[in-house]
């Protein structure tokens, strides 16, 4: 080796392709006067670098500590090589000889520099709907396979023009080696089909302004859009989608507009403007029609009776063009932007499929000719006490890896049947798919198969074992058994997986144990009952059921989920309270159905016992007169939370009957005293908001009592399950536990609902 000089082979693994890493390497080498080369490889980025020893050390430090903002560096490995001299630094052709794996980047929202290009009349990409650079644009949804090169993406069909090719090859350019690079001369083209004249964007904007419903092809699929301030248009979209009362998400062009319609704190602003650009659930301002400036009015039909709005900012250049650039004719300031599908179907992303499935839903189509290879729905989050709470992890996050606290063999976890995601794991990392949906439709099962195969292809994980929910009738579990072949399928109890997911997210040691409070709607128990109000002593390897909510009959299965008045009557019967006509929930049940339900509850015919806390929320919502039937999952519980917000429960407290801790098997806590108290308040004319607030307070204090009974000071308390999507309950419970000295762990990177279940299945299947 020459004195003071050296040569290194540096291998950087992680999310390092499609995020401007090679340009970063090039410019760093140039700054440090180093020579050599950089290339993509199937294992990551391969660098050979030569120069002064001190400069080599600084180069490696920057690789580890100062990578591009979108990169996720998993490891940096260095090997000494003989000094051989040479001049300059160059980007070499991609090698596919590596034995490791690289990681795909999520789709990234348009960056500020590209927004400036889009709006600058002097820029050649002025008004170009596909402007992007190394810091932004589509990634995951256009990648066919890795390494990430243009010929392995859906941009392969768009040869670069001479000017784009020069930018692509220029290390000083922001688009240096940006694979989706394009311009009006060589990039994808927009098309418009529907009423109106003019260029596609102008015609589409006019349609929206005039009350039409537009199908818009985005990054990961089609959206259906309409003017969020036009009550007739929103109501018609709701009718066509068979949406019931389920809220629509809305989109604005900028943060300032979003502030006009919702309350936005610092955390929410960071999420809304970050590279993922998720939908964020926020408290709405007084922005219904008549309550604010007309251009910011939100039609009541957007989110009926809902104090929140799901808001996202425009994340593609096409979205910004739809809202209009300076000087454009005005269009709507706020758009409904909802996935283009009927309820229960996967998102529509294929052009031919869109023409078939969206006929009758849309009045016009704004599309383009860049294929979407991977469908990907919008992500959804909310903010609780300044912390992120994911509700759906998809666009902008998938397929970023998550570190595992214990090594796993190559494994596929298939998740659950609601809010499905799947995951693959190998070694110390796991990769979760984008949101797939509810597995009750043949098209969703096909989408699941496609997503799983693509995830395997991107990660290189070849599963030797499968993990699935223990529910014998879950479609995801049936799929796993059908696809497993000779590979073993390990089943994991639903709530154990929920708890393991939070443990893994927090990086708990493989030997750790926690007190898991898992409250949700449905989870199959080994005793054949439907669990959902569970207190478990749990580790990755297994669990012990310490206590649960007292069983009540779930009569008729899903029919009692869709009609909360049935759960109300079941809880009345369990509490020994007569069904009298003065109770709203009793009156809501037709007399003939009431007679059949009474027979089911008395005999157990067509009934399964359930300890579900989610169903208890439904029952109380019906007893209080909030909601008797639901149009979407957890609607009754969600509306009960709304009524409780900001309401002082007063000095009266509802109390669950505590477990006595005697006898064999798990203890039981009983909701009967709470049901009796609710009925007393209903008959006394106590306002619904106070009843709702008292119930939330009772559940939060129940958790504190359970922690006091079963946890030690050294035992973390995990709160998980779909019930803890309830911001009011989560905040109150977490606060009570923390104030009383308990260490509390909740979901921050994965949903507490079934969307995070596959991660827990990976860990529990390996440890068990």
The closest alpha carbon to 437, from 423, 453, 448, 426, belongs to 448
Separation CA 193–CA 189 (nearest Å): 13
Helix (H, G, I), strand (E, B), or coil: what is residue 374?
coil
Query: For tokens 């809010």, what's the residue?
Result: 419
Establish whether 420 is a catalytic residue. no
Establish whether 260 is a catalytic residue. no
Maximum pairwise Cα distance, the chain? 95
- Residue 11, judged by CB atoms within 10 A of its CB (0-12, 13-18, 19+), counts as middle
Q: Which of 40, 341, 420, 753 is catalytic?
A: 40
> Which is it for the CA torsion 227, 229, 233, 238, positive or negative?
positive
Asked if 709 and 715 touch (Cβ cutoff 8 Å), the reply is no
Q: Radius of gyration over alpha carbons of the chain, in Å?
A: 28
The closest alpha carbon to 414, from 379, 451, 377, belongs to 451
Query: For tokens 């454009």, what's the residue?
Result: 328
Q: Kindly write down the DSSP assignment for every residue of 100-164, as one continuous string.
A: S---PPPPBPPPHHHHHHHH-TTSTTTT-TT--BTTBB--GGGBSSSS--GGGBTTTTSPPPHHH
Per-residue b or e along 677-714, where b marks 16 or more CB atoms closer than 10 Å to that residue's CB: bbbebbeeebebbbbbbbbbbbbbbbbbbbbebbbeee
Q: Which of 7, 22, 382, 490 is catalytic?
A: 22
Tokens for 752, please give them. 């507490």
- Whole-number Cα distances in Å, 723 to 197, 304, 328, 540, 720: 49, 21, 46, 22, 8
Asked if 455 and 437 touch (Cβ cutoff 8 Å), the reply is no
Asked if 379 and 388 touch (Cβ cutoff 8 Å), the reply is no
Annotated catalytic sites, by residue? 22, 40
């Amino acid at each position: 080796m020459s004195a003071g000089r050296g040569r290194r082979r540096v291998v950087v693994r992680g999310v390092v392709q499609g995020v401007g890493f090679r340009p970063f390497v090039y410019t760093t080498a140039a700054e440090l006067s180093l020579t050599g080369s950089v290339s993509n490889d199937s294992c990551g980025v391969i660098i050979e670098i030569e120069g002064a020893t001190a400069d080599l050390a600084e180069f490696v430090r920057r690789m580890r500590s100062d990578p591009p903002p979108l990169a996720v560096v998993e490891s940096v490995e260095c090997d000494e090589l003989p000094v051989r001299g040479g001049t300059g630094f160059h980007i070499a052709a991609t090698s596919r000889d590596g034995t490791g794996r690289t990681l795909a980047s999520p789709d990234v929202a348009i960056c500020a520099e590209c927004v400036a290009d889009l709006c600058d009349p002097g820029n050649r990409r002025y008004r170009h709907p596909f402007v992007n650079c190394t810091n932004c644009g589509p990634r995951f949804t256009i990648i066919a396979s890795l390494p990430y090169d243009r010929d392995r993406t859906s941009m392969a069909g768009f040869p670069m023009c001479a000017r784009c090719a020069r930018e692509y090859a220029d290390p000083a350019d922001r688009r240096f080696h940006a694979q989706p690079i394009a311009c009006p001369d060589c990039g994808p083209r927009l098309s418009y089909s529907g009423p109106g004249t003019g260029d596609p964007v102008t015609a589409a904007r006019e349609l929206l302004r005039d009350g039409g419903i537009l199908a818009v092809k985005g990054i990961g699929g089609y959206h259906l859009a309409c003017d969020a301030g036009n009550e007739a248009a929103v109501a018609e979209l709701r009718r066509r989608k068979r949406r019931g009362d389920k809220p629509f998400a809305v989109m604005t062009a900028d943060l300032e507009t979003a502030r006009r319609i919702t309350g936005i704190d610092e955390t929410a602003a960071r999420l809304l403007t970050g590279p993922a650009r998720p939908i964020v659930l926020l408290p709405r301002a007084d922005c219904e029609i008549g309550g604010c400036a007309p251009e910011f009015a939100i039609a009541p039909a957007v989110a009926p009776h809902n104090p929140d709005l799901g808001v996202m900012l425009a994340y593609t250049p096409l979205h910004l063009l739809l809202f209009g650039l300076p000087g454009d004719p005005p269009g709507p300031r706020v758009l409904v932007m909802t996935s283009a599908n009927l309820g229960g179907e996967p998102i529509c992303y294929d052009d031919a499929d869109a023409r078939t499935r969206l006929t009758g839903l849309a009045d016009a189509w704004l599309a383009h000719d860049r294929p979407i290879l991977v469908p990907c729905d919008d992500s959804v989050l909310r903010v609780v006490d300044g912390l992120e709470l994911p509700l759906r992890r998809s666009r902008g996050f998938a397929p970023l890896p998550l570190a595992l606290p214990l090594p796993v063999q190559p494994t596929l976890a298939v998740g659950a049947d609601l809010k499905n995601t799947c995951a693959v794991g190998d070694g110390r990392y796991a990769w979760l798919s984008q949101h797939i949906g509810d597995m009750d439709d043949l098209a969703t099962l096909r989408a699941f198969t496609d997503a799983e195969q693509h995830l395997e292809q991107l990660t290189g994980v070849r599963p030797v074992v499968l993990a699935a929910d223990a529910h014998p009738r879950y479609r995801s579990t049936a799929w796993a058994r059908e696809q497993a072949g000779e590979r073993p399928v390990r089943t994991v109890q639903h709530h154990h997986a929920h708890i393991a997911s939070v443990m893994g997210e927090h990086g708990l040691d493989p030997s750790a144990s926690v007190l898991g409070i898992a409250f949700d709607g449905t989870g199959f128990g080994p005793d054949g009952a439907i669990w959902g109000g569970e207190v478990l002593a749990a580790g990755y390897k297994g669990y012990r059921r310490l206590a649960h909510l007292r069983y009540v009959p779930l009569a008729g299965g899903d029919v009692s989920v869709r009609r909360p008045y049935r759960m109300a009557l079941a809880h009345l019967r369990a509490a020994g309270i007569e069904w009298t006509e003065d109770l709203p929930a009793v009156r809501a049940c037709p007399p003939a159905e009431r007679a059949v339900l009474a027979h089911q509850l008395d005999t157990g015919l067509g009934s399964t016992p359930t300890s579900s806390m989610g169903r208890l929320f439904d029952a109380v919502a019906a007893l209080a007169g909030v909601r008797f039937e639901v149009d979407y999952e957890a609607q009754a519980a969600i509306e009960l939370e709304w009524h409780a917000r900001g309401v002082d429960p007063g000095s009266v407290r509802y109390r669950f009957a505590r477990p006595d801790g005697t006898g064999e098997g798990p203890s039981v806590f009983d909701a009967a005293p709470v049901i009796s108290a609710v009925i007393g308040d209903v008959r006394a004319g106590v306002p619904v908001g106070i009843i709702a607030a008292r119930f939330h307070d009772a559940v939060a204090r129940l958790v504190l009592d359970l922690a006091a009974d079963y946890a030690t000071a050294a035992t973390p308390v995990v709160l998980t399950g779909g019930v803890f999507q309830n911001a009011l309950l989560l905040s109150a419970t977490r606060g009570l536990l923390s104030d009383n000295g308990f260490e509390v762990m909740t979901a921050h990177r994965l949903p507490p609902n079934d969307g995070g279940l596959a991660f827990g299945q990976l860990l529990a299947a390996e440890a068990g």
